Each structure stands twice: as C-alpha cells, then as structure tokens.
Structure 1
C-alpha cells in the first residue's frame, strides 16, 4: 500500500520528538537534573547529565531527520533501558512502574527502527540513493 511509506516517518517523529523535548527540558534544569542523578547514586552526575542531553537531543534529532537511525536507535534503546533500571525500579510505586514500562516499550520501538531502518522519507534513504547512483556512474 502506497500510504505505508509514511509510517516509518510517523514512527520516528513519535519516538524522536519526546526525546528532544526531554533533553531540552534538562538543559533548562541543570541543577535539578544533576541532583536527581546524584540522588540515585550514579557517579559523575555532571558527565551523566551531558551524556543524557546529548543522547536525548542528538539522538532525537537524528531520528526526526532519519539520519544514521540504526546506530542512533541502538544507543537510545540502551539509554532507555538504563534509565528504566536506574531511575524507575521502585515497583511498589505505581508511577515508577508506569515509567519503567514506558522506557521498556520505547526501547522496543527503537530496536524496531534499528532493525528495519529509517524508511523512504529519511536522510538515510537519500544518502543510499545517492551512493547507489554514484556506484552506477563509476561502473559505466
């Protein structure tokens, strides 16, 4: 079906946009975010903060543009699982359980993108078409 070609783009938007929003929110709340990271006992909280912002904003933008999504999705899936384990492991708190499951589901969606790729409406697709044309020109 012709309309299915837009589904990977929609999926990347639905997964990428919340990551970008979350990363930008962290940029606006350095002290609180670093304090929260420290409170759960993770070492080097300022470094963890920088990594979190880079993964969320950078990875989210890569998903939105469809650029190197297989690599970005794997990193973001690992980040989502690590976040679930370190920050949302108190299953006695229903809110924490919901956040844990949300992160696990996001990781699942990201692994789907890692396997299937960005789809036709992406920078990855454009670069593979360009590489294909270049190879054809060299072969002739």
Structure 2
C-alpha cells in the first residue's frame, strides 16, 4: 500500500515529462502555434512551459517539495487549459476535462502530500 502514492505521482508526472520533452523536440512548431494563438513572447512562454513541466514532473516523481511541485503544475495547467483547450470548443472539450482531472489529482497530492515513499517523507524523518 505504501507504494500507491509513488505510482500515482509517477503516472501523473509521465504526462508532463512527455509533453516537456515533446516541446523541446517540436520547439519551432509549438512556438508558431502559440504565436498564432496570439500569445506574446511565445519563445519565452514556451521555455517557461518546458521548465514548469520537466521540473514539476521530476519533483513529483521524487516526492521532493511535492506540494510546491503540485502548485507549479496547477499554475501551468489553468492558463493552458483555457488558452489551448476551450471548454466551449467541442473538439477541445475532452482535453479541457482531462486537464481538470489532472488539477484534481494534483490538488489531492497537495492536500495529502507525497506519501511514505518520497524524499519529503525521508526529510521529515530526519527533522
């Protein structure tokens, strides 16, 4: 049972790792898409997106500063959901709802913490 939070954190983090790596390899295409959406400073925003996704995912997997990593990813998901996945566009609605589910999962992690198999738990044993 003690490994369930680790597995859950890892499953959630895989999505953000995959997206961050995808953005690195498809940087030009993603930057163009963001600019076409009317976002200013698309290069800077995309760089920030990649950092948020990769750092947040790695921290989630390690269970280190887990509450902050959950908040970091939520802060990324909220604007991304509304800018790129409008709930009013039937073609994007399922993506919007998936992001809501991710926010719910991250809020659960924020509330309950990383669980027993995490660097956060190890740190609290030391303190």
Instruction: Tell me the TM-score normalized by structure 2.
Output: 0.95
Query: CA shift at 1:36, angstroms?
Result: 1.2
- For 1:71 and 1:115, how far apart are their aligned partners in 2? 11
- Residue of structure 2 equivalent to 1:110: 106
Count of residue correspondences? 127
- For 1:92 and 1:32, how far apart are their aligned partners in 2? 22
Give the ranges of 4+ consecutive aligned residues of structure 1 lying more than 3 Å apart after TM superposition: none
- Residue of structure 2 equivalent to 1:134: none
* 1:104-123 per-position Cα deviation (integer Å, ceiling 9, x unaligned): 11011101111111000001
CA RMSD of aligned residues (A): 1.1
Q: Which has the higher helix share?
A: 1
Q: Residue 49 of structure 2: which of 52, 66, 71 is its match?
A: 52
- For 2:111 and 2:77, how far apart are their aligned partners in 1? 17
Structure 1 alignment gaps of length 5 or more:
132-140
**1:25 matched to 2:25:** no
Structure 2 alignment gaps of length 5 or more:
none
